[in-house]
């Protein structure tokens, strides 16, 4: 078969264009830092990268959920601690009032301090995190506790709704403790409720002839001890949730690092390797141009 100059030229142009495309591809990869710019470049790798990107996104959202829950739980711990301190002070005042040696003015002073502590308990109960009341159950936008200005009774106005956050696929964690758990009963007149205990205490301090005066060192003190134990139990449970969240956030960080590294290996280029590859492709392209200059411009003198 006779090879003509035209055939040589056409063959040269085919190889030249291929070398140019390869060099352009390497140049685009260097510019973007990615192995591919279109799904059609490497369909299998693109599919894997999309799955990894989705996993990274999910993991990031789980991290946000855990951080939100952790902040909520830590705020709850602080509030429960303050409530416990307040109840311990109420216990001290109850013991002092029950010793039988105090006069009317001293009872009045204790009554005033108890009233202030009850107001403080309501304020602590209305603690919020990121604009949401932590003890209101699902009612996070309205204050869950209030104090009746006439009777001095502490009232819970929230619900028993459970707030959860998803921390892994299909795995949720309860992050709230409701005011109902603290109060013990919705009936503020019930001695089993915190409000009922405080009501008995206030009545015993106000009215010297009330039967509650004689119960200050007995039933009322016992009920306060029960309320303190309840708070300690709730705080312990809340602490366990905090510990679990800390462990899960550490696991989440490790998983995020692993997924990010996998994604990088799937779609990112090795710059040093790619620079060397581009240099070789550029040299090949220049060599092709040099060779083509001889192929495409023959004269009769070249054959003499």
Domain regions of the chain by residue span: 70-163+170-239
Q: What is the mean pLDDT of residues 231-254?
A: 95
Could you count the other beta carbons within 10 Å of the beta carbon of residue 20?
Answer: 14
Stronger pLDDT, 261 or 171, i.e. the higher one: 171
Kindly report, residue by residue over 15-57, the tens digit of the pLDDT. 667 766 766 666 666 666 666 666 656 677 777 877 888 888 9
Q: What is residue 153's predicted lDDT score, i.e. its pLDDT? A: 79
Contacts 24+ apart (CB under 8 A), 28-32: 29/269, 29/274, 30/269, 30/271, 30/274, 30/275, 30/278
Stronger pLDDT, 151 or 85, i.e. the higher one: 85
Q: What is residue 15's predicted lDDT score, i.e. its pLDDT? A: 64
Tell me the longest C-alpha to C-alpha distance in the chain. 138
Rama region for 160: left / alpha / beta (φ>0; ψ in -120 to 50; rest)? alpha
Whole-structure pTM value? 0.76
Q: Are 89 and 117 in contact (CB under 8 A)?
A: yes
At 300, the pLDDT band (50, 70, 90 cuts) reads very low
| Angle subtended at Cα 106 by Cα 87 and Cα 108, rounded to the nearest 5 degrees | 75
Q: What is residue 29's predicted lDDT score, i.e. its pLDDT? A: 61
Strand partners, 164: 174
Contacts of 128 (CB under 8 A, 6+ apart): 134
**Most confident among 85-99, 184-198, 279-293 (mean pLDDT):** 85-99
Q: How far is CA 153 from the centre of its chain?
A: 36
Q: Are 146 and 179 in contact (CB under 8 A)?
A: no
DSSP state for residue 162 in the 8-state scheme? P
Averaged pLDDT score across all residues of the chain: 81
Q: What is residue 113's predicted lDDT score, i.e. its pLDDT? A: 93
Q: If you classify domain 70-163+170-239 with CATH, what class do you get?
A: mainly alpha
Q: What is residue 32's predicted lDDT score, i.e. its pLDDT? A: 63
| Angle subtended at Cα 175 by Cα 154 and Cα 84, rounded to the nearest 5 degrees | 40
Q: What is residue 130's predicted lDDT score, i.e. its pLDDT? A: 93
DSSP readout, 187-198?
Answer: -TT-TTSHHHHH
Could you count the other beta carbons within 10 Å of the beta carbon of residue 171?
Answer: 10
Stronger pLDDT, 190 or 80, i.e. the higher one: 80
**Most confident among 3-17, 68-82, 140-154, 213-227 (mean pLDDT):** 68-82
Torsion of CA 253, 256, 258, 261, to 10 degrees: -130
Stronger pLDDT, 244 or 209, i.e. the higher one: 244
């Amino acid at each position: 078969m006779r090879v003509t100059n035209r055939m040589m030229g056409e063959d040269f142009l085919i190889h030249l264009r291929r070398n140019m495309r390869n060099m352009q591809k390497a140049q685009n990869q260097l510019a973007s830092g990615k192995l591919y710019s279109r799904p059609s470049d490497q369909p299998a790798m693109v599919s894997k990268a999309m799955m990894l990107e989705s996993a990274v996104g999910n993991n990031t959202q789980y991290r946000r959920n855990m951080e939100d829950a952790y902040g909520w739980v830590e705020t709850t711990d602080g509030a429960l601690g303050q409530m416990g301190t307040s109840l311990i002070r109420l216990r001290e005042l109850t013991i002092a009032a029950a010793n039988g040696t105090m006069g009317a003015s001293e009872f009045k002073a204790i009554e005033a301090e108890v009233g202030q502590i009850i107001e403080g308990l309501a304020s602590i109960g209305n603690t919020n995190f990121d604009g949401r009341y932590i003890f209101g159950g699902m009612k996070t936008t309205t204050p869950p506790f209030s104090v009746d200005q006439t009777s001095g009774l502490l009232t819970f106005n929230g619900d028993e709704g459970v707030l959860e956050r998803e921390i892994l696929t299909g795995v949720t964690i309860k992050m709230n403790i409701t005011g109902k758990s603290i109060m013990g009963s919705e009936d503020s007149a019930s001695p089993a409720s915190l409000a009922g205990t405080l009501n008995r205490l206030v009545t015993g301090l106000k009215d010297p002839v009330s039967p509650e005066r004689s119960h200050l060192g007995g039933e009322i003190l016992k009920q306060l001890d029960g309320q303190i134990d309840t708070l300690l139990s709730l705080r312990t449970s809340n602490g366990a949730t905090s510990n679990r969240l800390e462990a899960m956030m550490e696991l989440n960080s490790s998983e995020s690092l692993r997924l990010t590294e996998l994604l990088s290996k799937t779609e990112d280029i090795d710059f040093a390797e790619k620079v060397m590859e581009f240099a070789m492709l550029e040299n090949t392209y220049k060599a092709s141009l040099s060779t083509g200059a001889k192929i495409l411009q023959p004269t009769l003198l070249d054959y003499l």
